[in-house]
Amino acid sequence: MPPAGSPPRRYNRIVPKILVTGGAGYIGSLTTYQLLQRGFEVVVVDDLSRGHRHNVPPDLLRVVHLQETAALAPLLIGVDAVVHFAAFIAVGESAREPELYFSNNVGGTISLLAAMARAGVKRLVFSSTAAVYGNPETIPIPEDAPLAPVSPYGESKLIVERMLKQLDEFRGLRSVALRYFNACGAMPEAGFGEQHDPETHLIPLLFRAIDTGEPIKIFGNDYPTPDGTCVRDYIHVSDLAEAHLAALDYLMNGGKSDVFNAGAGRGQTVMEVMRAVEEVTGRKVPYVIAPRREGDAAELVADSGKLRRVLGWKPVRSELGRIVKDAWEFFQSARAGASRP
Ligand SMILES: NC(=O)c1ccc[n+]([C@@H]2O[C@H](COP(=O)([O-])OP(=O)(O)OC[C@H]3O[C@@H](n4cnc5c(N)ncnc54)[C@H](O)[C@@H]3O)[C@@H](O)[C@H]2O)c1
């Protein structure tokens, strides 16, 4: 018994509990791994529509669709913050099936927010995207650049960002939206990497072209860029996961709602990435030049100064050679695993 008159004992929970949606996917699984490494308690919600069961320790995974609000609510009890990755992510598919994207990405988030409100969870880190900028006029792109998405995918993310602003005001929900540029690379030493189906991302598609001999299509070589191909900002997925940890730290310490670009802050052309792949693999990439794709911006490079300044984030693995080396190592081990009986 504490002596009479002494202040009440405080039972602060030392280990924050985080609910990760979409934690069976590419970025979510790696972030879950880094959260666990850092000692957080984690529960993962994923419906496995696009993710992989093997990406999550079985005892942490709850197979739930985001729109099952009633099933989400009990999972949120005692949760300190949510990291919300779950969404459909393919720009081209969103143009063919806009309703699917609004239903899953916006509808799913509304359901999650309702369940969070019911459980009194007041912190959220949200996966937004550079696609909210559309075809930006200023490079590198600052967070206050005009928001003008050119795809249902980008629009679905912008709608959620706007909802979060209102929920800050009317529900006291504190959120950080991270606008990712091109997430890439892998953590082969821990068994995590990119396995989208269908795959739409450049580096795994370059590997696949090497593997199958089927030429990869390069969409446009007449852009106003150094070699005519599109310029993108490639951020290593492990550095991106770290940005989520920094955002959580910020929110747990009373940070106000905000939006941050999450990119390495430098651009590379498609041809530069291809040359890096050829260097790392020692193989030639077969390719053909195809017409430009509608909606592809010539250049998307983040001004990542705010992420560095406010959240104290610094990329450590986002050098292109390292990204490609990690991704290639993972690609080879995944291929070997797939061909094992
Ligand atoms: N990969 C990138 O370069 C990139 C760039 C910008 C933004 N993002 C955003 O990052 C997030 C994660 O991307 P990723 O590359 O890891 O994608 P991913 O497809 O690998 O992972 C998404 C996960 O969410 C799950 N999911 C989808 N809808 C769900 C639902 N309604 N209920 C429950 N689970 C659901 C899927 O099963 C999957 O495991 C997405 O929100 C995406 O929009 C990704």
Residue in the block written with tokens 């197979």: 63
Q: Where are the alpha helices (DSSP H) in the chain?
A: 26-37, 69-75, 91-96, 98-101, 108-119, 152-171, 202-212, 237-252, 270-281, 305-311, 320-339
Task: For 121-135, write each residue's pLDDT tens digit.
Answer: 999 999 999 999 999
For residues 206 and 284, give the distance between their C-alpha atoms in angstroms, rounded to a whole number. Answer: 10
pLDDT value at residue 336 = 85
Bridge partners of residue 262, in order along the sequence: 180
The letter for the amino acid at 67 is: Q
Domains observed in the chain: 17-339 (3.40.50.720)
Q: Which residue has a Cα nearest atom 21 of ligand 1?
A: 25
pLDDT value at residue 13 = 57
Q: Which residue has a Cα nearest atom 36 of ligand 1?
A: 50
Q: Check: CB of residue 26 under 8 Å from CB of residue 194.
A: yes
Per-residue pLDDT band at 339 (split at 50, 70, 90): low
Classified as helix, coil or strand, 112 is helix
pLDDT value at residue 337 = 81
Task: For 233-283, write each residue's pLDDT tens digit.
Answer: 999 999 999 999 999 999 999 999 999 999 999 999 999 999 999 999 999
pLDDT > 60? residue 324? yes
Candidate of 89, 192, 238 to mutate for ligand 1, largest count of ligand atoms within 8 Å of Cβ: 89
Mean pLDDT, range 15-38, rounded to an integer: 97
pLDDT value at residue 8 = 46
Q: Which residue has a Cα nearest atom 34 of ligand 1?
A: 46
Mean pLDDT, range 94-118, rounded to an integer: 97
Using CB distances shorter than 6 Å, the residues near ligand 1 are: 22, 24-28, 46-51, 65-66, 85-89, 104, 108, 127, 129, 180, 182-183, 196
For residues 285 and 211, give the distance between their C-alpha atoms in angstroms, rounded to a whole number. Answer: 9
Tell me how far CA of residue 171 lies from CA of 101, 112, 175, 250, in angstroms: 25, 14, 11, 19
Tell me how far CA of residue 178 lies from CA of 52, 153, 247, in angstroms: 23, 15, 9
pLDDT value at residue 53 = 97
Task: For 275-300, write each residue's pLDDT tens digit.
Answer: 999 999 999 999 999 999 988 999 99
pLDDT value at residue 115 = 97
The letter for the amino acid at 267 is: G
Burial 161-186 (b: 16+ CB within 10 A, else e): bebbeebbeeeebbbbbbbbbbbbbb
CA of 86 to the centre of ligand 1 (A): 5
195 Cα nearest atom in ligand 1: 20
Q: Check: CB of residue 25 under 8 Å from CB of residue 46.
A: yes
CA of 22 to the centre of ligand 1 (A): 6
Catalytic member of 26, 101, 153, 223:
153
Please, what is the average pLDDT of the chain? 94
Mean pLDDT, range 298-309, rounded to an integer: 98
pLDDT > 60? residue 340? no
1/321: higher pLDDT: 321
Torsion of CA 272, 276, 281, 284, to 10 degrees: 20
**Residue 287 falls in the annotated catalytic set:** no
128 Cα nearest atom in ligand 1: 7
For residues 210 and 4, give the distance between their C-alpha atoms in angstroms, rounded to a whole number. Answer: 75
Q: Check: CB of residue 234 under 8 Å from CB of residue 320.
A: yes
